[in-house]
Chains A and B, each alone.
Chain A
Amino acid sequence: MTGTMSTAVIEEFDNTGVAPRQRAPLVLGEHDLASVTEAVCRVVERPKPPRAWYIAFAVSSAVTGMLFAMIGYLFLVGVGVWGVNNPVSWGWAIVNFVFWVGIGHAGTLISAILFLFRQRWRNSINRFAEAMTIFAVMCAGIFPAIHVGRVWVAYWLFPIPNQMQMWPNFRSPLIWDVFAVNTYMLVSLVFWYVGLIPDLATLRDRATTRIRQIAYGLAALGWRGSQRHWHRYEVAYLLLAALATPLVISVHSVVSFDFAVAQLPGWHTTIFPPYFVAGAIFSGCAMVVTLIVPARQWFGLRELVTRRHLENLTKVILATGSIVGYAYAIEFFTAWYSGNAYELFTFVNRALGPYAWAYWIMITCNVLVPQLFWFKRCRTNLVIMFIISILVNVGMWFERFVIVTTSLSRDFLPSSWDYYSPTWVDILTFIGSFGLFFTMFLLFIRYLPMVAMAEVKTLMPQAHGHGGKGGDHA
């Protein structure tokens, strides 16, 4: 509507201060309801995206092509193209799976858990984080599927009647995982879509071309902002949040059961479920920061996704990073305190053995680097938080690598010990999964509103009646 949205070189307003008697504003600038619609829709309504988008899309879709080429090669030749060997039969595929599923946790944390806790700052970043979750879980899902060896019978993972009249073994954590990850994918998708419906209707009503009208119109399901609809919608959204909250905790717990239920020293520990969940939220919030810092800059959304939002995310990273550090220490302590020689050996071997380099990368990136967020300067400096967020995900990838590889490569029988290293196929497949992730993400920011407009509007003073009993806490 107005020209207030030109984001040229306005010095960013700092809303990170602490004034206990005042709520910090979550929408900055001279915004009214119309200008929020305008700011968010403008990004997807441009007839052509900026040149940088085309370049990014070309690169990421080429990398995605490489992912599928690598998968094709794997299917043609067999798992021998990977570096997996006899003791280390879970190589990068499982490391990447856990890595991507972990990243996929922040979306639902931000959408569901923060929603239940009435953390209203989530409203500007939940759409973004949920999209990230879905794409990360898609990337994650590829790896166990291609890791099964005989991919043409991957459907044996599901309880589908087959010609052998056999059923999956439901006492195996690997089957629990199939159910957990698929449920998580579906529920995240539904949660995301329910949130999108009102915003899709906004895009439909603003559409100027026939194609956009039809596409957004179909997707919006005929939403027309009826209060009788909103009433049920809000109840459904609350219930979905309440269902997704235990779900998000269960998913990475179940992933950790893949390890914890096994008998292997270093895996067989009861601390795994909470430690995996904390690590997942840690890595997911870091990925949100990695993606949103440039996105808000490029698309002029700095007044909706403010410094305070980012600072809050860095606080979550600091808290969960410290939980992860604590878990590392407790694992070590338990290994010593248990008096179990195998357990102690595994942990000493992690820190000082052939994979010590990976272990210390993990400790540096996950435990030491996030401690910088104790300093406000680091929590509010975009460059510093961007770099730390990338380091955190490097560290979290190495955490999964350390867990998978060190325990497997040194099992009970020294004669079968071996050193695992990836092949070029492993490496290119992993890089390719980033291509898929970014391709999906670029399509998302091109065609869908990346900020939940309807939800952000509820945070604005215009959303609250002054007369009568209207009005909710502002």
Chain B
Amino acid sequence: MRDTQTPIATSESPQLCGVLAEFETVDALLAAARRVREAGFARWDAHAPFPVHGLDEAMGIRRTRLPWIVLACGLMGVLVGLGLQWWTNAVDYPFLISGKPLFSWPANVPVIFELGVLFAAMGAFLGMLVLNRLPEWYHPVLTSERFRRATSDRFFIVIDADDPRFDRRGTSELLESVGGAVELLEA
């Protein structure tokens, strides 16, 4: 998956790490995202206080492989649940309870189910964080005063300085031409 989040090495002199443009409406953001994508940028991102529908298509984000990770984790939970009960009650410590068989899968269903769900849920949570490279407590955009509204009511597009098509003036002009209020991000 393409990613825009490369940590930037801190040096003494401020270093340009990207251009940020602020938009006031969802419509402006969608239009700008389409333009940025058409212009061929690869290392860029859009930021919004909530998931904007239609933006995935406008940005060309491919569907995540998270569901497969969750499925794998769930199946692992099922196997762990089955193996745990079989090993502990039928092999390591054969447990005779009112003449019932040592290993009978119907009695093991609740624990298998619970562990399957538990592993899958943890897979969804941790998988989402890992694929998103979170937690990442430092990021250049978080230094911008203006960007603080990205979690409230404003929409942003950020183009990274290390994008091959990035140039200081041209990129800023592109973002201005689509109606963004532009700011240079330095770190």
Contacts and interface: CB of A to CB of B under 8 A. Distances in A.
Contact of A240 (B1, B125, B141, B142): B125
Interface stretch (A29-37, A47-55, A374-382): A29-37
A194 B121 CA distance: 11
Given A227-B56, A239-B67, A471-B54, A222 B139 contact: yes
A268 to B, nearest CB: 15
A126 interface: no
A247 interface: yes
A408 interface: no
B93 A165 contact: yes
A288 interface: no
Nearest to A221: B135
A460 to B, nearest CB: 9
A225 B150 contact: yes
B136 A225 contact: no
Contact of B121 (A37, A190, A233): A190
Contact of A183 (B26, B108, B118): B118
Contacts of A257: 110
B64 to A, nearest CB: 5
Contacts of A468: 30-31, 34, 54, 58
A118 interface: no
B148 A470 contact: no
A186 interface: yes
B160 to A, nearest CB: 12
Interface of B is mostly: helix
A236 B55 CA distance: 18
Interface string A183-194: 100110011011
Contacts of B58: 468, 470
Interface residues of A, number: 74
B138 to A, nearest CB: 7
Given A32-B153, A232-B128, A465 B45 contact: no
A370 interface: no
Given A222-B136, A227-B59, A254-B110, A236 B117 contact: no
Contacts of A262: none
Interface in A166-201: 166-173, 175-176, 179-180, 183, 186-187, 190-191, 193-194, 198, 201
Nearest to A250: B113
A469 B34 CA distance: 12
Interface stretch (A80-88, A133-141, A359-367, A451-459): A451-459
Nearest to A234: B51
B159 interface: no
A217 interface: yes
A433 B179 CA distance: 56
A231 B128 contact: no
A221 B134 CA distance: 6
Contact of A34 (B120, B124, B131, B152): B152
Contact of B97 (A169, A221, A247): A169
Given A170-B111, A240-B124, A205 B149 contact: yes
A165 B47 CA distance: 55
Contact of A217 (B3, B95, B134, B137): B137
26 contacts: A32-B153, A33-B153, A37-B49, A159-B88, A167-B95, A169-B95, A190-B121, A202-B152, A206-B148, A206-B152, A218-B137, A224-B47, A224-B141, A232-B66, A235-B67, A235-B128, A236-B128, A239-B70, A239-B120, A247-B114, A458-B50, A458-B51, A465-B52, A466-B27, A470-B53, A472-B53
3 closest A-B pairs by CB: A470-B54, A167-B88, A33-B153
